[in-house]
Chains A and B, each alone.
Chain A
Amino acid sequence: RKEVEQDPGPFNVPEGATVAFNCTYSNSASQSFFWYRQDCRKEPKLLMSVYSSGNEDGRFTAQLNRASQYISLLIRDSKLSDSATYLCAGVGASKIIFGSGTRLSIRP
Chain B
Amino acid sequence: GNSVTQMEGPVTLSEEAFLTINCTYTATGYPSLFWYVQYPGEGLQLLLKATKADDKGSNKGFEATYRKETTSFHLEKGSVQVSDSAVYFCALSTGDDKIIFGKGTRLHILP
Bound together: no
